[in-house]
Amino acid sequence: MSFTYRVGADGWFDLLDRLFQKIATLRIGCRITAVKEKMGQLRISCNNADDQVLSWIEEARVESARTCQVCGGLGTFRILPGHLAATLCEADAERLSKPIRQRQVLEA
Ligand SMILES: [Zn+2]
In a domain, residue 1? The reply is no
In a domain, residue 3? The reply is no
Q: Identify the weakest region by mean pLDDT among 18-22, 24-28, 87-91.
A: 24-28
- How far does the centroid of ligand 1 lie from the alpha carbon of residue 81, in Å? 17
Q: How many structural domains does the chain have?
A: 1
Using 50, 70 and 90 to split pLDDT, how confident is the model at 106?
A: low
- How far does the centroid of ligand 1 lie from the alpha carbon of residue 49, in Å? 31
Q: Which residues are in the CB-under-5-Å shell of ion ligand 1?
A: 68, 70-71, 73, 89, 92
In a domain, residue 34? The reply is yes
Residue count of the chain, please give it.
108
In a domain, residue 2? The reply is no
In a domain, residue 59? The reply is yes
- The per-residue pLDDT of the chain, averaged, comes to 87
pLDDT tens, 66-105?
Answer: 999 999 999 999 999 888 899 999 999 999 988 766 666 5
The answer, yes or no, to whether residue 27 has pLDDT greater than 80, is no
In a domain, residue 4? The reply is no
- How far does the centroid of ligand 1 lie from the alpha carbon of residue 92, in Å? 5
Structural domain of 49: 10-107
Which pTM was predicted?
0.83
